[in-house]
Amino acid sequence: MSSPFLKQVFNKDKTFRPKRKFEPGTQRFELHKRAQASLHAGLDLRQAVQLPPGEELNDWVAVHVVDFFNRLNLIYGTVSDGCTEHSCPIMSGGPKYEYRWQDEHRFRKPTALSAPRYLDLLMDWVEVQINNEDIFPTNVGTPFPKNFLQAVRKIMSRLFRVFVHVYIHHFDCIAQMGSEAHVNTCYKHFYYFVTEFGLIDTKELEPLKEMTARMCL
């Protein structure tokens, strides 16, 4: 029987961003399968995120960035009906943390936005990054750019903010669906991955520090 979480995801009228997929037969598709298999085999998440022997770090990281984007897209999608201009006029993670949006186009200076507006821009921005062949090349033999891990750090620090907002402001919705275990596992996987490869600054992790200490350490 499917979980309430998945029912909620697929019964919604909202249009979710299409999942970014890996082409069958490519090395990244095989890596993606290996990563999924290690999770389903019940491996400790700390072990599951470790770079497999003989594999390239950038390939392993690329596969996981796309996977985390797909998962967070679904997680936020399930709570988005309750995340409105009225309920969340500020993109925050509790009273101490406010996030302001900045990009290279419309918002050249950090700008205060509502959470739904901020998160829409964030997910659109990440989607553009992972579909950019100059950053995430899909052709075999095309090298990753020299600044690949730098680009990934920015992506992952922004994706972390989705967890922050969902946990602090919308966890009651997750609990009502009985999806705590699913979301907690996604978070632990994400946390172990970014700490294994140094992809998020410690200060960025502060808003969920106490929860993380209970859940992950």
Q: Which helix (H) or strand (E) is 7 found in, with range? A: helix 4-11
Q: What is the value of pTM for the model shown?
A: 0.84
Domain boundaries, the chain: 4-11+27-216
The residues near 27 (Cβ < 8 Å, ≥ 6 apart) are 59, 140
Separation between Cα atoms, residue 195 and residue 193, nearest integer Å? 6
CATH classification for the domain delimited by 4-11+27-216, as one of 1.10.1740.10, 3.30.200.20, 1.10.3080.10, 1.20.140.30: 1.20.140.30
35 pLDDT above the threshold of 60: yes
For residue range 161-196, what is the model confidence (pLDDT) as tens digits?
Answer: 999 999 999 999 999 988 888 899 999 999 999 999
* Residues of each annotated binding site for Zn(2+): 83, 88, 165, 170
* Residues of each annotated binding site: 83, 88, 165, 170
Of 115, 89, 82, the residue nearest 101 (C-alpha): 115
Of 170, 178, 167, the residue nearest 205 (C-alpha): 167
125 pLDDT above the threshold of 50: yes
